[in-house]
């Protein structure tokens, strides 16, 4: 798997996977702590039983994610939009990642399934040997991942505050 995909899996794992542990529905911009579900609706998909280790993440170390993805509608195609920002000296945000990816390609990497993906419950257990990139500065990061279907409807949205040492 390429380095960019590895970095994106790192962010998505922190944002999508860990976020289900809190069950919070707070707005991303209002509460800067913890992990939140920012989905407009729960009619498309949900994530449960999720975990990421180590937490906090450590630069240069492998990480492991696992959880359950409950897909409620067939995924024909989609876009995955991922952002990761770092607050620098309390007065500006620096964006480390702002990417839009083909959701079906990402799901092949995560579940080894090709679109269309029918409704169902999918387990994932993933260890990335790409490691947390050493160019990430130590500190607090804010990540957001949202997936949209072919009609532009939001399927899932998750955000998180994470620490990288």
Tens digit of each residue's pLDDT (9 = 90 or more) over 116-146: 999 999 888 777 655 778 888 888 888 898 9
pTM: predicted TM-score of the whole model, two decimal places: 0.72
Closest residue by Cα to residue 123 from 19, 49, 36: 49
Strand partners, 154: 148
Q: What is the pLDDT of residue 66?
A: 78
Structure token pair of residue 146: 């949202």
Q: What number is the average pLDDT over the span 94-114?
A: 89
Q: How confident is the model at residue 61 (pLDDT cuts 50, 70, 90)?
A: confident
The pLDDT value given to residue 16: 40
Confidence band (pLDDT; 50, 70, 90) for 83?
Answer: very high
Q: What CATH number is attached to the domain comprising 140?
A: 2.70.220.10
CA 127 to chain centre: 15
For residue 27, what are its two tokens? Answer: 């707005």
Total residue count of the chain as it appears in this document: 165
Residue 129 pLDDT = 59
Q: Which domain holds residue 105?
A: 3-164
CA–CA separation, 124 and 142 (whole Å):
23
Q: Residue 126 and residue 37: Cα distance in Å, rounded?
A: 21
Q: Which residue has the higher pLDDT, 105 or 45?
A: 105
Give DSSP secondary structure letters for the chain: --HHHHHHHHHHIIIIIGGGGT-----TTT--SSEEE--S-SSSEEEEEEEEESSSB-BTS-EEEEEEEEE-S-B--EEEEEEEEEEETTTEEEEEEEEEEEHHHHHHHHHS--SSB-SEEEEEEEEETT-B-TTSPSEEEEEEEEEEETTS-EEEEEEEEEEE-
Counted domains in the chain: 1
């Amino acid at each position: 798997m390429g380095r960019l995909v590895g970095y994106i899996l790192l962010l998505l794992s922190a944002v999508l996977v860990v976020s289900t542990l809190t069950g919070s529905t707070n707005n991303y911009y209002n509460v800067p702590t913890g992990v939140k579900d920012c989905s407009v609706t729960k009619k498309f998909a949900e994530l449960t039983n999720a975990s990421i280790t180590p937490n906090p993440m450590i630069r240069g170390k492998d990480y492991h994610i696992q959880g359950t993805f409950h897909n409620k509608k067939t995924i024909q195609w989609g876009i995955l939009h991922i952002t990761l920002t770092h607050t620098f000296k309390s007065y500006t945000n620096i964006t480390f990642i702002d990417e839009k990816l083909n959701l079906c390609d990402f799901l092949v990497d995560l579940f080894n399934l090709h679109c269309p993906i029918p409704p169902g419950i999918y387990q994932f257990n993933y260890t990335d040997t790409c490691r947390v990139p050493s160019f990430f500065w130590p500190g607090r990061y804010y990540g957001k991942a949202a997936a949209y279907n072919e009609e532009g409807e939001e399927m899932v949205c998750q955000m998180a505050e994470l620490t990288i040492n």
